[in-house]
Amino acid sequence: MRKIKDVLRLKLDGQLSHERIAAALNISKGVVTKYVGLAAAAELDWPAIAPLDEAALQRRLLNPSERPSGFVLPDYGRLHQELRRKGMTLMLLWEEHVAQHAPEPTHSYSQFCENYRRYAKTLKRSLRQIHRAGEKLFIDYAGPTVALSDGSRAHIFVAALGASSYTFACATPREGMADWLGSCAAALRFFGGVPQLIVPDNPRALIANPNRYEPRANDTVEDFARHYGCSVLPARPRHPQDKGKVESAVQVVERWILMRLRHQAFAGVDDVNEAIAPLLERLNTRPFQKLPGSRASAFAELDSPALQLLPLQPWVFAQYKSVRVHIDHHIEFEGHRYSVPQALAGQLLEARVTVRTVEVVHRGQRVASHPRCAHKGGFTTIGEHLSAAHRAHREWTPERLIHWGDSIGVATGRTVTRLLEERRHPEHGYRACLGLLSLVKRYGKPRLEAACLVALELGTAKYSHVRDILASGRDQQQSNASPEWISPEHAHVRDPAYYQ
């Protein structure tokens, strides 16, 4: 009503009756009676009313907190911030207010709540939501970008905590998944803790399925959330009010930081971040307009104590890819092959790839881990992943076979060496050597050494010849006969040199 002051002027200064005032202002007598009664209850006379405008007069008459009284009024701005604490209620704040000012008179609980709600309506719409301390971090990219000297643009990432509005901003070269998550990790380091929820928009770089009811982030984002022990919950599509906190923070960053950088030239993203850092500190320490304190003081009081601790290990960007295990029990990534346990051949697995490692996951369990290799066409194989037969075959080398032969005897070692040297490639003689050495199981080491000596004297080193010598027992005959021809000098005895 815009005729309150006229009603009181005609009544208190003009001394007119209620009936004449109602007729003059074209209102009912009941309205005149109401406002005259309110003025009497507020103990207002015409000299006190004359300097007031309609809005101020209406507040004095209708708002009990504006009336002179003996009640101790609370600081509603402080109460509004206290309500952001997890578990805080108006009942508890009223009890603390009563206890703090006892025995002075205070409002009843119902009037206390009514006065707070009236105060909350005077705040901006974005501040009406109650954000619990340490609960949510809102993230987004600003619309404006910063020009770089090479012709590219730096994109500005913004993050804001729900309860305190404490703000972080940094520049990135793009808005890809690595930029989103890398900036988010930098924000968590800046805050010194981890919230329970991270609330982005629905960018394709992060959200695989932007469903309103069952949104699903991609595997790399879920890996990020697991590392930090938090959750990523995107806002509803086309509902910016779900992340109004960061929308407001983006606007503040654009006005208080980007506009101050518009005349500067930057060579790269790092230069932009150096220029943002001091301006960001000034922004967070700038006092609120309607609330006590600043973003920095509210953060120290509300969000900082409620944040979870940062993990000890730094986060490493990892991408996921579905891979099929080949018949040789290797998976392929970027042209290089990595081994997995041979029992998984033919199955579809998941590869987690970082800058340094390639991890293979089967049903949520890591089954293989390799250093990442950029050699296309190469193989990285772990012996434990091979079958027993393949592992045994892989372990045979010429040096190992020769050493095994030498452990039996000199003649056996020489025979093995000749078997390997007489082939075009050493591997061609592997099976012959294994066959030769396997004769130990049947005939024993002494007989094999003797048979190899006989074979070498005959000028052969074939496996089949040594086997036949052992089967015929010639090695035993040679060993038994050898003492008989070695005798004292005699005219009819000739040594081998005679026949040369």
Distances (CA, A) of 354 to 312, 314, 318, 357, 369: 18, 13, 5, 5, 11
pLDDT of residue 482: 47
Mean pLDDT of 75-81: 83
Cβ(253)–Cβ(39) under 8 Å?
no
Count up the domains in the chain and report the number.
5
How many C-beta atoms surround the C-beta of residue 202 within 10 A? 17
Instruction: Kindly state whether residues 48 and 143 are assigned to the same domain.
Output: no
Q: Is residue 491 part of a domain?
A: no
Check whether residue 188 and residue 147 sit in a common domain.
yes
Q: Has residue 244 been placed in a domain?
A: yes
Nearest CA-CA partner of 70 in 111, 104, 118, 109: 104
200 and 285 in a common domain:
yes
Last residue of a domain, one of 260, 276, 306: 306
Q: Which tens digit of pLDDT belongs to each residue from 292-303? A: 889 999 999 989
Residue 53 falls within a domain, yes or no?
yes
What are the tens digits of pLDDT across the range 329-344? 788 888 888 988 878 8
Same domain, 298 and 164: yes
Q: Are residues 421 and 272 in the same domain?
A: no
How much of the chain, in percent, has pLDDT values that exceed 70? Answer: 86
Let me know if residue 313 belongs to a domain.
Answer: no
pLDDT band at residue 491 under the 50/70/90 scheme = low
Residue pLDDT, tens place only, 416-430: 888 888 876 565 677
Average pLDDT, the chain: 82
When mean pLDDT is compared across 67-71, 103-107, 313-317, 398-402, the lowest value belongs to 67-71
pLDDT tens-place string over residues 16-62: 888 888 888 888 888 888 888 888 877 778 888 888 777 777 777 77
pLDDT surpasses 60 at 487: no
So what's the pLDDT on residue 207?
83
C-alpha–C-alpha distance, residues 197 and 303, integer Å: 13
Do 152 and 195 lie in one domain? The reply is yes
Structure tokens at 454: 């006989």
For residue 101, is pLDDT > 70? Answer: yes
Residue 348 lies inside a defined structural domain of this protein: yes
Contact between 180 and 200 under an 8 Å Cβ cutoff? The reply is yes
pTM above 0.85, yes or no: no
pLDDT tier, 157 (very low <50, low <70, confident <90, very high otherwise)? very high
Distance (Å, rounded) from C-alpha 420 to C-alpha 400? 12
Domain membership of residue 130 (yes or no) is no
pLDDT of 372 > 80? The answer is: yes
Q: Is residue 40 part of a domain?
A: yes
Alpha-carbon distance of 180 to 200, in angstroms, equals 10
Q: How confident is the model at residue 284 (pLDDT cuts 50, 70, 90)?
A: very high
For residue 312, pLDDT over 80 is answered with yes
Instruction: Give residue-wise pLDDT tens across range 218-244.
Output: 888 888 988 999 988 888 776 766 677
- pLDDT for res 277: 93
Q: Is the pLDDT of residue 274 over 90?
A: yes
* Residue 262 vs residue 267, higher pLDDT: 267
Higher pLDDT, 367 or 381: 367
Instruction: Judge whether residue 128 has pLDDT over 70.
Output: no
In a domain, 493, yes or no: no
The per-residue pLDDT for 480 is: 54
Whether the per-residue pLDDT at 209 is higher than 80: the answer is no
Describe the strand order of the beta sheet including 336-339 as a list of residue ranges: 330-333, 336-339, 379-380
What is d(CA 154, CA 460) in angstroms, rounded to the nearest whole number? 78
Does residue 11 have a pLDDT over 90?
no
pLDDT score, position 389 = 57
In this prediction, what percent of the chain has a pLDDT beyond 90? 16
* Last residue of one domain, picked from the residues 306, 339, 357: 306
Please tell me whether residues 170 and 235 are part of one structural domain.
yes
- 377 and 400 together in one domain: no
- What pLDDT, on the 0 to 100 scale, is given for residue 486? 44
Final residue before a domain boundary, out of 249, 282, 306: 306
Question: Average pLDDT of 279-286?
Answer: 92
140 and 234 share a domain? Answer: yes
- Whole-number pLDDT of residue 117: 86
Q: How far apart are CA 142 and CA 448, in angstroms?
A: 83
d(CA 225, CA 232): 7
Instruction: Compute CA 127 distance to the chain's CA centroid, rounded to the nearest angstrom.
Output: 29
Domain span at residue 434 reads 396-485
Are residues 150 and 271 located together in one domain of the fold? yes
Same structural domain, 341 and 281 = no
CA distance 482 to 480: 6
The 3-state secondary structure of the chain, one letter per residue: CCCHHHHHHHHHHCCCCHHHHHHHHCCCHHHHHHHHHHHHHCCCCHHHHCCCCHHHHHHHHHCHHHCCCCCCCCCHHHHHHHCCCCCCCHHHHHHHHHHHHCCCCCCCHHHHHHHHHHHHCCCCHHHCCCCCCCCEEEEEECCCCEECCCCCEEEEEEEEECCCCCEEEEEECCCCHHHHHHHHHHHHHHHCCECCEEECCCCCCCEEECCCCCCEECHHHHHHHHHHCCEECCCCCCCHHHHHHHHHHHHHHHHHCHHHHCCCCCCCHHHHHHHHHHHHHHHHHCECCCCCCEHHHHHHHHHHHHCECCCCCCCCCCEEEEEECCCCCEEEECCEEEECCHHHCCCEEEEEECCCEEEEEECCEEEEEEECCCCCCCEECCHHHCCHHHHHHHHCCHHHHHHHHHHHCHHHHHHHHHHHHCCCCHHHHHHHHHHHHHCHHHHCHHHHHHHHHHHHHCCCCCHHHHHHHHHHCHHHHHHHHHHHHCCCCCCCCCCHHHHC
Residues 118, 156 share a domain: no
